[in-house]
Structure 1
């Protein structure tokens, strides 16, 4: 797959996790600018999904199977939006903590995607 994109998504997710984690430590809910950050990370995950599907269509074969790879790509795409929705439901510091946790999960999924592809 595209290593630079995987690293970019991982770094952006960890930056979002730190940002929202800091908001949680300050006892703040998610704000509009947090949602902009979540949108940026989600767009990067969407770009990775598109690149992954294109690589599969071009004949690329993940080491652990195409089905597992696609499921992880879809899971990576929906991790941050799911956390964003939960942070809207919980308008306290725990909403920010939920987004931080979701962003860390996305970073871990990126490492796993790298391993599945054969990195």
Structure 2
């Protein structure tokens, strides 16, 4: 099963966890789309700066702090992902409530750890 994933908060900086997540997701043959502040490419994945609508999205992995997430609440819900993963530093009870109301699963976990332990 392809777990098409949106990396929200994607960065072109190789020292950022979102950058590492894109590389690791691609190396695990997971289809990746990415949204960030700057256009660019990481591991063959184009980073968009526009709120594009994706079909059949399995996961949204967050790399934005809770304050920065607010402007994306409606966008995330509109994508109807199976789940949202809150990476360390992105925990957000307000968004948990919105996701619950929209029957979207979520977990507080590290994408890199989930991938390295085959739990993604």
Shorter-normalised TM-score: what interval?
under 0.3
With normalisation by structure 2, the TM-score equals 0.27
With normalisation by structure 1, the TM-score equals 0.27
Greater helix share, structure number: 1
Tell which structure's C-alpha radius of gyration is larger: 1
Greater strand share, structure number: 2
